[in-house]
Amino acid sequence: MCGIFGYTGFRRLGPIILEGLKRLEYRGYDSAGVAFISSGLQVMKDAGKIDEISRKFNFSGIDGKLAISHTRWATHGAVTQTNAHPHISCNGRIAVVHNGIIENYIDLKRELISLGHKFRSETDTEVIPHLIEEFYRKTGDPLKAIFMAVSKLDGSFAFLAIFEDHPDRIFAVRYKSPLVIGLGDGENFVASDVPAFLKYTKKVIFLDDMEVAVISRDSVEVFNSLTREKVDKEIYIVPWSVEDAERGGYPHFMMKEIMEQRFTITRVLGQDDRIREASQLIKDAQKVFLVAAGTSYHACLASSYWFAEIAGVNARAVLASEFPSISKLVDDKSLVIAVSQSGETADVLESVRMAKKRGSKILGIVNVVGSSLMRISDAFLTINAGPEICVLATKSYTSQLAILYLLVNDLVGRLENAKEEIKRAETLVAHMLESEALLKDIRRIAKDLSASEHIFLIGRGISYATSLEGALKIKEVSYIHAEGFAGGELKHGTLALIEEGTPCIAIVPEDETKDQTLGNAMEIKARGGYIIGLSNEEHVVFDELIRTPSETSLSPIVMIIPLQLLAYYLALERGCNVDQPRNLAKSVTVL
């Protein structure tokens, strides 16, 4: 949901800003802009892709002392040049870029208009520079003005502000939306996410809610905006390499990240102590909730079957956005296991805050070390998958499954066995991804299916979660309507949608669900459906077979691989933007 990036230091401003923006493009890509100070405050912004806008204004040629920039995923106000960030104060001497939503902006706008402020855009963000201007006029002190402005804002925000009068400082504020400062030597960075500056520094400070940082090229000071006191911040070293955030010869991050699963799955190993601490939390709890959104929710759903079957634990998977409606069930004997790649998803963080208020303990499972979820959890596990840049979650999904599998097995004293199974699953994934024949087959099937209006996926038991995740991948990247179903549910209504040639993917691992799923595939075929089987062997019901290994215990990890590939090739066949599907953003930091 929007990316913000700021820089102050010795490098040429234009290229570094452009690079930072490009690396955050996955967070939003409908408009972009930059504000910088070079003989006065200047703003360049427009609707469109970063490359187009950069060409139009020659971003690379920008020079000056410091700059703030923005790539937008619109929430309030259409995608237009006027609504693009940065937004400026009436006198044009203060500029702001913002990620999040100012919920009380209508009231604030009315108040500011009555004080004589003139608004240019339809955005919620524009109230921020006007508010700061108002308080700056009164106090003459930029930091005080920011503190006062922040105290008026409701909602979620991470914003950067610069003042023409103070051309050596970037002011950075965070409340419920992510913001991280990169510490350099004679230069400093601030961004919504680490990859924006990973090439230059791995030393970072994560801002906490209601903190304000004053960033100049040689110093970073952080204040609590409520007490206005200075805060000592911990410096984290990010464990990612620069190459992790590069495409590395692949045409798209999606393919790179799918391929990385040949070695990322076992990167969950090596956290035995933390796993033991986490299992103790589960053992101490009377109720366990697995809370997440999107793909991470599908990992939770799959693991709820493992919790039940392997450990006899009733762990309920709940969509984070629905959590408020069942939050009354949560109490001080509960454990919420919150799973999030980014650790910044607003629905997940809100659920966690709600659960904490009710006395529940929180176990966070994240990819991004230092993320908000990790920091507000009582205990955490990381999946260590490296930065996931493509908007679609792929490698984080298999790693989430792997860590949840270790956790469940630790509950019954099988951690060591589970580790071996994870290693084996990764080998099987690697074999699939290295099989040119398999890739060719899937590409051919994608070509055949590329004109389909609908694709249905069925799976039973734990493969139901795989069917949902496979459908999500197909939908979000190829824009084909795809739906996953529990195989047994079709006859309760959806069978009515099956016509001659309707494609249906049957997920058939070698487990106890096999015969019944095949039976459901028969029912579909009898009504004209075209059946693509994911299975380790041919079956009369299949019109096509995508051959998968006969893995049973970790079938969700193994079976999702061909579906990720199918989604990728469908998108290519249909000429879709693979890494940046329309209307989406990687981290959904608004409720």
Active site residues: 2, 586
> Which of 296, 360, 372, 548 lies at the binding interface for ligand F6R (CB under 6 A)?
296
Please compute, for residue 473, the number of CA atoms within 13 A of its CA located in the half-sphere on the CB side.
28
x-marked contacts with ligand F6R along 136-175 as a string, rule CB under 6 A: ----------------------------------------
Does residue 293 belong to the site contacting ligand F6R (CB under 6 A)? yes
The residue type of 480 is I
Least distance between ligand F6R and beta carbon 476 (Å): 6
Size of the site for ligand F6R (CB under 6 A): 15
Does residue 94 belong to the site contacting ligand F6R (CB under 6 A)? no
Report the 10 Å Cβ neighbour count for 412. 14
Least distance between ligand F6R and beta carbon 440 (Å): 25
How far is Cα 511 from Cα 583, in angstroms, rounded to an integer?
38
Residue nearer to ligand F6R on the CB measure, 71 or 400: 400
Residue nearer to ligand F6R on the CB measure, 89 or 340: 340
Residue nearer to ligand F6R on the CB measure, 390 or 433: 390
> Which of 83, 264, 340, 535 lies at the binding interface for ligand F6R (CB under 6 A)?
340
- Dump strand ranges (E) for 193-321: 203-206, 211-215, 220-224, 236-237, 287-292, 315-319
The residue type of 380 is F
Q: What is the DSSP letter of 123?
A: -
- Given a contact cutoff of 8 angstroms between Cβ atoms, the answer to whether 200 and 189 are in contact is yes
Residue nearer to ligand F6R on the CB measure, 94 or 392: 392
How far is Cα 68 from Cα 162, in angstroms, rounded to an integer?
8
Least distance between ligand F6R and beta carbon 320 (Å): 8
- Window of 197-205, 291-299, 509-517, 554-562 that interacts with ligand F6R by CB under 6 A: 291-299
> Which of 109, 588, 589, 590 lies at the binding interface for ligand F6R (CB under 6 A)?
588
How far lies 173's CA from each of 95, 159, 160, 188, 479, in Å?
A: 14, 5, 6, 15, 36
How far is Cα 171 from Cα 165, in angstroms, rounded to an integer?
13
Does residue 291 belong to the site contacting ligand F6R (CB under 6 A)? no
Q: Which two tokens stand for residue 408?
A: 């469940």
> Which of 89, 266, 334, 341 lies at the binding interface for ligand F6R (CB under 6 A)?
341
Does residue 264 belong to the site contacting ligand F6R (CB under 6 A)? no
Least distance between ligand F6R and beta carbon 390 (Å): 8
Q: DSSP labels for 444-458?
A: HHHHHHTT-SEEEEE
Q: Which residue is nearest to ligand F6R (CB)?
A: 294
Helices and strands, counts by H and E, the chain: 18, 24
Does residue 351 belong to the site contacting ligand F6R (CB under 6 A)? no
Residue nearer to ligand F6R on the CB measure, 311 or 563: 563
How far lies 573's CA from each of 90, 144, 271, 438, 570, in Å?
A: 49, 55, 41, 17, 5
Dihedral pair phi/psi, residue 269, rounded to 5°: -70, 165
How far is Cα 467 from Cα 457, in angstroms, rounded to an integer?
5
Nearest partner of 455 among 576, 580, 570, 539, judged by Cα: 570
Does residue 294 belong to the site contacting ligand F6R (CB under 6 A)? yes
Does residue 348 belong to the site contacting ligand F6R (CB under 6 A)? yes
- Given a contact cutoff of 8 angstroms between Cβ atoms, the answer to whether 310 and 412 are in contact is yes
Q: Interaction with ligand F6R in 371-410: which residues (CB under 6 A)?
A: 392-393
Q: Interaction with ligand F6R in 467-526: which residues (CB under 6 A)?
A: 472, 476
> Which of 54, 342, 520, 548 lies at the binding interface for ligand F6R (CB under 6 A)?
342
- Window of 199-207, 211-219, 272-280, 341-349 that interacts with ligand F6R by CB under 6 A: 341-349
Q: Which residues bind ligand F6R (CB under 6 A)?
A: 293-296, 340-342, 345, 348, 392-393, 472, 476, 587-588
